[in-house]
């Protein structure tokens, strides 16, 4: 279970991204303060309006009356203070505070009398009209500040989430291939799209409403305290209850949001699996099965989302009910004091002086003014919790460590020129279910290959061929044993330095949605146009690009779908050639191409393999490559069972003989 410290760490980490754009964020906070002040100012307009409409007292008369009342209070309390013994420190201090408060009120109302009253019309309706105009102007200004605040926060949020997405993507690129395979592309896409979007929406609500609305509520509560702090405290009794409720609901909401995000990842997985294998789905009539799997994932997402909706739906009505109860806790006693003409309720003093209907109405308006911020806060509370859940999932991916760590002080690796040794290699693929222990993929494998040697590694499916060679570029590390190039343990050099000497051509040729030129250049971004052209000619790419009007600048589509299998494989070979590797790995590189393309690749390799160490991984070594290969290594069940030349192995190795016969039968059938 995630600890409170981890949750706070993730919150802080997101805040650090926002702090990169602190100027905009701080300006948005200033806007929020202005919005709160204008909100409170608009509500305070109820005081003069009630005075004009109900108490029929003009603003100048009201101000003059308050000046007189406070001056009288200062005089009376000053006179009373003179009668109190100097030793009664507490009583004297209390009286002096009241005298100070009354004096400040005199100064405030005198300022209003001097600078504001001359601007107020004598006619009551004109006064009321002026107040309403000021409210409209204040509202326009408040709306402009809301627009500016949300614009600034939106800019900060989406810049920050772009940074988070980029860091998340970079963190994935630094993982080992096995970790990526275990996570799955659909899950990674879900985290970098849906989860980060949830994060953005949640923190956007935090940057706008979670800052603005509490300030509005605080301004109203502050004004209510100024009017009558005793009655306001009665209203705030309910606040701890609201806090406990929101805390409980928040935990449930975040847990439900986590589950909903996991279920959306499964939907992504269904979509990806279906359309990546669309030919198989249609060829075997699997549409209904895929639809059922998709519906099951979709229904699970619905169930998880509804759990979230049920919890979220409780927040607004419950907090609104609590808010109304809080207002009534202050309004009802206030009304009692006015109607009964007293300052006491059950023997407890609730007012400094006699309350008027205007005082109670204004207090009610200020407390009711906190309900709107409270309602808006309750509506975004769930969104913020979803944002926090999204942050947890995203940073869990960012923090994931590769099982292929970089060495702190890497050795410099010169160009390979001696030998490659696999020493006592064992490896077992990790299981996603820790309770299940998978069979060993490699067990105590030893192999030495001289520089410039062409070695074919053959064996049935699951024999460990590809696993063994995947250790060479450190796609993963062996559980035990070492891989050495020219006597240097490959774990002691930087992975980029190691991989810069290795060229790779696989069965599932992965090309990018770009031009032929850029796909070849991917092997060596520093290659010149002449080097790329030379690699294309050497790999016989130029023999088919003339058919395209744009030549090397032809866009090949996602995965190179606009090309044939043989064309894609030749581009992949050109990509390896332009890298000028000292080590070349061909992993089932010709298993999915026609005989003509295989002959072309063989012709290319005969020339290109000179002076390089070449590994050819295959189920069956075709006759096309027999004159190219110096040695054949036969593997079975994670072990090397035989090595030698083709003719010798046919006589001495039953497994090789069976593989070769199967290959001959397939060729004859073809």
Q: What is the mean pLDDT of residues 436-457?
A: 89
Write out the residue range of the structural domain in which residue 158 sits. Answer: 16-58+122-398
Pick the more confident residue, 2 or 252.
Answer: 252
423 forms bridges with which residues in the sheet? 482
Percent of the chain with pLDDT over 90: 17
DSSP letters for 107-171 = HHHHHIIIIIGGGS-SSHHHHHHHHHHHHHHHHHHHHHHHHHHHHHHHHHHHHHHHHHHHHHHHH
In a domain, 629, yes or no: no
- List, as one string, the DSSP characters of 457-506: EE-STTSSHHHHHHTTTTSS--SEEEEEETTEEGGGB-HHHHHTTEEEEE
Our CA angle for 625, 630, 633, nearest 5°, is 90
Among 110-124, 285-299, 603-617, top mean pLDDT goes to: 603-617
Cβ neighbours around 261 below 10 Å, total: 22
Residues 6+ apart with CB under 8 A from 87: none
* Listed range (23-27, 49-53, 382-386, 636-640) with the worst mean pLDDT: 49-53
Look at residue 51 and tell me whether its pLDDT is greater than 60: yes
Q: 581 and 497 in contact (C-beta within 8 Å)?
A: no
Q: What local confidence, expressed as pLDDT, does residue 469 receive?
A: 92
CB-count burial class (<10 Å; 0-12, 13-18, 19+) for 474: buried
Q: For residue 669, name the pLDDT band (cuts at 50, 70, 90).
A: very low
In a domain, 325, yes or no: yes
Residue with the bigger pLDDT between 44 and 592: it is 44
Q: What is the pLDDT of residues 262-279, one digit of tens each?
A: 787 788 778 777 777 776
How far apart are the two ends of the chain, measured CA to CA in Å?
57
> Distance (Å, rounded) from C-alpha 104 to C-alpha 474?
77
- Please indicate whether residue 235 or residue 59 has the higher confidence score (pLDDT): 235
3-state SS of 56-94 is: CCCHHHHHHHHHHHHHHHHHHHHHHHHHCCCCCHHHHHH
- Asked, for residue 221, whether it belongs to a domain, the answer is yes
Pairing mode, strands 480-485 and 488-489? antiparallel
What value does the mean pLDDT of the chain take?
Answer: 82
Q: How many CA atoms lie within 13 A of 209 on its CB side?
A: 18
- Which three-class secondary structure state does DSSP give residue 508? coil
Model confidence at 144, pLDDT cuts 50, 70, 90, reads very high
The count of structural domains within the chain is 1
Domain assignment present for residue 137? The answer is yes
Q: Above 90 in pLDDT, residue 546?
A: no
Q: Please say if the pLDDT value at position 493 is more than 90.
A: yes
Residue 618 lies in a domain: no
Q: Strand 488-489: give its sheet, edge to edge.
A: 442-450, 419-427, 480-485, 488-489
pLDDT in tens, 496-527: 899 899 988 887 778 888 888 998 998 888 99
Q: Where do runs of H (alpha helix) occur along 174-228?
A: 177-183, 185-190, 196-207, 209-227
Give pLDDT tens digits for 602-621. Answer: 788 888 888 899 999 887 77
d(CA 479, CA 474): 12
Residue 367 lies in a domain: yes
pLDDT value, residue 147? 92
**What SS3 state is found at 385?**
helix
Residue 88 falls within a domain, yes or no?
no
Proportion of the chain above pLDDT 70, given as a percent: 91
Winning range, highest mean pLDDT, from 86-100, 345-359, 508-522 = 508-522
Mean pLDDT of 33-43: 89
Q: Which CATH number covers residue 32?
A: 1.20.1560.10
CB 585 within 8 A of CB 617: yes
């Amino acid at each position: 279970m995630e600890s409170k410290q981890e949750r706070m760490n993730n919150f802080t980490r997101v805040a650090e991204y926002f702090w990169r754009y602190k100027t905009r964020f701080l300006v948005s906070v200033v806007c929020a303060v202005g919005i709160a002040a204008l909100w409170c100012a608009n509500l305070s307009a109820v005081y003069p309006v009630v005075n004009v409409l109900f108490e029929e007292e003009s603003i100048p008369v009201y101000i003059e009356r308050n000046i007189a009342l406070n001056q009288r209070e200062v005089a009376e309390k000053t006179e009373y203070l003179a009668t109190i013994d100097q030793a009664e420190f507490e009583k004297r201090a209390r009286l002096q505070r009241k005298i100070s408060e009354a004096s400040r009120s005199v100064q405030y109302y005198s300022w209003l009398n001097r600078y504001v009253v001359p601007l107020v019309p004598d006619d009551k309706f004109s006064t009321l009209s002026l107040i309403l105009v000021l409210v409209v102007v204040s509202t326009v200004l408040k709306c402009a500040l809301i627009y500016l605040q949300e614009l600034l926060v939106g800019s900060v949020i989406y810049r920050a989430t772009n940074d988070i997405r980029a860091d998340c993507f970079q963190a994935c690129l630094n993982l080992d291939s096995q970790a990526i395979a275990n996570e799955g592309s659909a899950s990674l896409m879900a985290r970098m799209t849906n989860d980060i979007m949830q994060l953005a929406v949640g923190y956007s609500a935090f940057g706008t409403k979670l800052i603005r609305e509490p300030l509005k509520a605080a301004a109203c509560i502050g004004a209510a305290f100024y009017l009558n702090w005793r009655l306001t405290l009665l209203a705030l009794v309910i606040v701890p209850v609201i806090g406990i409720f929101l805390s409980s609901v928040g935990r449930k909401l975040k847990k439900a949001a986590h589950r909903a995000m996991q279920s959306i990842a499964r939907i992504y997985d269904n979509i990806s699996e279906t359309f990546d294998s669309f030919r198989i789905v249609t060829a075997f009539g699997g549409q209904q099965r895929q639809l059922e799997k998709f519906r099951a994932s979709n229904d699970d997402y619905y169930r998880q989302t509804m759990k979230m909706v049920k919890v979220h739906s409780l927040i607004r009505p419950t907090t609104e009910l609590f808010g109304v109860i809080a207002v009534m806790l202050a309004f009802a006693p206030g009304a009692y004091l006015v109607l009964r003409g007293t300052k006491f309720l059950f023997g407890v003093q609730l007012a400094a002086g006699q309350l008027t209907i205007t005082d109670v109405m204004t207090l009610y308006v200020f407390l009711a003014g906190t309900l709107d911020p409270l309602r808006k806060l309750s509506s975004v509370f769930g969104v913020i919790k979803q944002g926090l859940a999204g942050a947890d999932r995203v940073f869990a991916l960012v923090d994931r460590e590769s099982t292929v760590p970089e060495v702190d002080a890497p050795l410099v690796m010169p160009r390979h020129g001696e030998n490659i040794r696999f020493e006592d290699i064992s490896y077992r693929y990790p299981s996603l279910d820790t309770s299940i222990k998978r069979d060993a993929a490699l067990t105590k494998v030893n192999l030495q290959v001289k520089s410039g040697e062409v070695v074919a590694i053959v064996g049935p499916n699951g024999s460990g061929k590809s696993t063994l060679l995947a250790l060479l570029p450190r796609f993963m590390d062996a559980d035990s044993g070492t891989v050495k190039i020219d006597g240097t343990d490959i774990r002691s050099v930087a992975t980029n330095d190691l991989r810069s000497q290795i060229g790779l051509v696989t069965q599932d040729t992965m090309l990018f949605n770009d031009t032929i030129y850029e796909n070849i250049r991917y092997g060596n971004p520093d290659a010149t146009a002449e080097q790329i052209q030379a690699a294309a000619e050497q790999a016989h790419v130029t023999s088919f690009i003339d058919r395209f009007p744009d030549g090397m600048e032809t866009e090949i589509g996602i995965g190179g779908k606009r090309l044939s299998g043989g064309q894609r494989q030749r581009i992949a070979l050109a990509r390896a050639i332009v890298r000028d590797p000292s080590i070349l790995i061909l992993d089932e590189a010709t298993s999915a191409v026609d005989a003509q393309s295989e002959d072309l690749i063989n012709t290319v390799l005969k020339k290109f393999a000179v002076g390089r160490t070449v590994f050819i991984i295959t189920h069956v070594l075709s006759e096309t490559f027999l004159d190219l290969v110096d040695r054949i290594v036969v593997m079975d069940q994670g072990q090397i069972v035989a090595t030698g030349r083709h003719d010798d192995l046919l006589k001495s190795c039953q497994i090789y003989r069976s593989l070769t016969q199967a290959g001959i039968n397939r060729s004859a059938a073809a």
